[in-house]
Amino acid sequence: MKRMGAVAVMGLSMLLSACMAAGQDGPPGPRPEGERPAGARRDRVGLMGPRMTPPRMKELLAQLDLSSEQKEKIATLQKALEEKTEEQQKALAELRTKRQEADGDQEKLAALRKETSDLFAKTETDRKKLVDDIMAVLTEEQKKKFEELQRPAPAVPAVVKIIEDKAEELKLTDEQKEAVKKLAEEYKPAEATPEQREAMEAAREKMRELRAKGASQDEIRKAMEEMRAKQMEGAAKAEQQGREFMAKLGKILNEEQMKTVKDAAQAQAERRPRPEGRERGLRMRRQGDQPEGSNAAPKDDGGNGAE
């Protein structure tokens, strides 16, 4: 039960983090060589990654059969979060302005980075309290269902590989093997269409052009959001296919076989660590610093990146 509660809290925390991230002032700072972008699909830390957006959370909560009283309480908590987020965004904007006015004064910049870091720490404390308050509104049954709903479906190819690797342990009948083979073929990941590849390349080219001409942070952020939206469409489709695949697989395998596959998929996801380089990069971006050894040109906010 403790693990279930922790996972559920993690999911809600990702939602509340999204509210803050949606308003961060400025694009991400430079990324160390070899480090995957912050929005990369394969980072499964927290089970949900970037996909736990406010709309996604709204969708999940809608499946919990909340009472009118629960809906009212959660709406009040969400409203409180929105008000706090607005205040914090104003504070972040003021800090950015101060950094720009610091004109390279390293002592001032160091103090402003510390202030920014402290603000994020306070934000996290407030957020965790709100998460606890929201969890307190849910019943144990709802918390359990929430955990099940928020756990991402494993990728179809990964499940197929697990079944192949555990063939001896699963002891599939010939009929099951044939059914799984047909199901895997039905949900075989489709290659990106030429139109999709062209759309993504056009989005990347737009980003390069904006950066080259010294566009404002608002323009760059808008372009980034458009590019991420296209990426999220593909991720959402893959997620839906994964859930459908697992549901149909459950009708082919018996309960014990299905448990073996799910446990293996979960263990595989938990073994995938978060790259240390990204953790360090994210901390630096929040503090307005740049990774050591970076050759990137300073951003237009005084060379200190985004909060």
Q: Tell me: the pLDDT tens digits for 26-52? A: 434 444 444 344 433 333 333 333 345
- Counting Cβ atoms within 10 Å, is residue 61 exposed (0-12), middle (13-18) or buried (19+)? buried
Asked whether the predicted pLDDT for residue 222 surpasses 90, the reply is no
Asked whether the predicted pLDDT for residue 5 surpasses 50, the reply is no
- Residue 54 pLDDT: 58
Over residues 11-26, mean pLDDT: 45
Distance of CA 263 to the CA centre of its chain: 23
For residue 121, how many C-alpha atoms fall within 13 Å in the half-sphere facing its CB? 7
Q: How far apart are CA 113 and CA 101, in angstroms?
A: 14
Q: Is the pTM of this model over 0.95?
A: no
Asked whether the predicted pLDDT for residue 260 surpasses 60, the reply is yes
Q: How far apart are CA 59 and CA 61, in angstroms?
A: 6
Token readout for 145 is: 């269902």
Asked whether the predicted pLDDT for residue 231 surpasses 90, the reply is no
Q: How far apart are CA 231 and CA 72, in angstroms?
A: 34
Asked whether the predicted pLDDT for residue 128 surpasses 50, the reply is yes
- Residue 49 pLDDT: 39
Of the two residues 55 and 118, the one the predictor is more confident about is 118
Instruction: Determine which helix (DSSP H) or strand (DSSP E) holds 90, and give its type and residue range.
Output: helix 68-102
Q: How do residues 141-193 score in pLDDT, each as one tens digit?
A: 988 888 777 777 788 888 999 999 998 999 999 999 999 999 989 888 766 66
Q: How far apart are CA 126 and CA 128, in angstroms?
A: 6
The end-to-end CA distance of the chain, in Å, is: 36
Q: How far apart are CA 200 and CA 228, in angstroms?
A: 10
Over residues 189-217, mean pLDDT: 76
For residue 146, how many C-alpha atoms fall within 13 Å in the half-sphere facing its CB? 29
